[in-house]
Amino acid sequence: KTLRFSARWIAVVVLIFVVSGVFFFCEYLIYFPTILKCAWPKISHVRGGEGIDGRPMDSTLRAMVLSDTHLLGAVGGHWFDKLRREWQMERAFQTALWLLRPEIVFILGDIFDEGKWSSQKDWEDDVRRFHRMFRHTTDTELVVLVGNHDIGFHYEMDWFKLQRFEKVFNATSTRIVTKKGVNFLLVNSVALHGDGCPICQSVERELIKLSRDLNCSLQDNCEGSQLYPPTPPVMLQHYPLYRVSDAGCTGQDAAPPEERHLLFREKYDVLSKEASQRLLQWFKPRLILSGHTHSGCEVLHDNKYPEISVPSFNWRNRNNPSFILASFSAGSYALSKCFLPEESTVIAVYCSAGACLLFLFLAHCLWMKGLLQCFSLCLLGKHKSL
């Protein structure tokens, strides 16, 4: 009886140890070796390693860029789906902050999944969860752009939803952020519909003013204009600039092969041709970073303006989320991609652990059955001898 009791306790201890170990690995530890593979890219002279006018490069700015977090709302978000995916994003983001120490983080829109229709109560709950998940120290600046799921597509957006978003993140949706001599142009691409709507007109007026200020800074002729460092901007927005499809996109984070040849709809999947050309003519950006498609892609516009589409950061949108690590100086930049653990890998670990536990349980049952039979035979033999 004592032997049977001890065997049960050993089995319970082994079960607890295995379950807790697998859970700790899949929900916490797995992010460390994955993100440790990532490193900040070094700026070379290939893209103009010297500063403006041949001056030496300024100190490098380390920027982390992610997109399409899509925090689930109260309407379409199942509680387990919300818990699972938000925990994944929180652990990934916090681990990346701790290991990589970026100076600035950009999130390229679609922060929330239901901002376009959420009530004030639901909005406040979504915002509270966002600030918990993407908490950061004062050493890191967090800059958030607006996306169509935050304020609605063009036909859904209004001043209330836009100003609600801007109030939460304490900034206007179209502006320039300058850090270490690098100009980052943040564009409210949802409002570039070109139909003269009030928000569209306001955003276009602001873009024209910013373009004028940047151009006069480059020409060193800034009477009555705001001064910016004399360097072309890095343009960040939610919608990609116009392209026909993702047919030319490659890499493990590109859209699935069966989707790459699907034609994009202007003003829905990508900006219109007209809006794209206006932005390029106004700002002549040295780099464009965009989101929205949930897949990665590299495009060269007019043979001189490179655009990188940043994949979604959320397991709900893709099995292999990733983010961009960017090193910027006043005259150059370098990019690298950092992949997060794949959801299929975590599921496979859980399934393998479950199969092993089932095997151990069956083996334990068979061992206990054999032990009991042996014990019974021993007792029977003693009884006969008496």
Q: Domain range holding 103?
A: 59-341
Q: Confirm whether 358 is domain-assigned.
A: no
Residue 334 dihedral angles phi and psi, to the nearest 5°: -145, 145
Mean pLDDT (the chain) is: 87
Q: What is the CATH number of the domain that holds 295?
A: 3.60.21.10
Q: Looking at the predicted structure, is the pLDDT value of residue 273 above 70?
A: yes
**pTM for the complete prediction?**
0.88
Residue 247 vs residues 259, 263, 273, 333: alpha-carbon distances, Å: 8, 9, 18, 26
Q: Confirm whether 362 is domain-assigned.
A: no
Q: Confirm whether 173 is domain-assigned.
A: yes
Q: Confirm whether 16 is domain-assigned.
A: no
Q: Looking at the predicted structure, is the pLDDT value of residue 259 above 70?
A: yes
Vertex 179 angle, CA 37 and 174, to 5°: 105
88-97 per-residue burial string, b: 16 or more CB within 10 A, e: under 16? bbebbbebbb
pLDDT value at residue 57? 47
pLDDT value at residue 154? 86
Q: Confirm whether 350 is domain-assigned.
A: no
Output the CA torsion sign for 87, 88, 91, 94. negative
Q: Confirm whether 383 is domain-assigned.
A: no
DSSP one-letter string for 90-114:
HHHHHHHHHHH--SEEEE-S--BSS
pLDDT tens track for 107-137: 999 999 999 888 999 999 999 999 999 999 9
Q: CA 7, CA 15: separation in Å to the nearest integer? A: 12
The β-bridge relationship of strands 234-237 and 287-290 is parallel
pLDDT value at residue 378? 58
Query: Angle formed by the axes of helices 79-100 and 120-133, to 10°?
Result: 40
Q: Confirm whether 337 is domain-assigned.
A: yes
Kindly list the strands in the beta sheet with 333-339, ordered across the sheet, starting from the edge strand earlier in the chain: 141-144, 104-107, 61-66, 322-328, 333-339
Q: Looking at the predicted structure, is the pLDDT value of residue 54 above 90?
A: no
Q: Confirm whether 4 is domain-assigned.
A: no
Which tops the pLDDT comparison, 355 or 207? 207
pLDDT value at residue 7? 61
Q: CA 27, CA 5: separation in Å to the nearest integer? A: 33
Q: Specify the number of domains making up the chain.
A: 1
Q: Looking at the predicted structure, is the pLDDT value of residue 330 above 50?
A: yes
> How many helices and strands (H and E) does the chain possess?
9, 11
Confidence at 377, pLDDT banded by 50, 70, 90: low
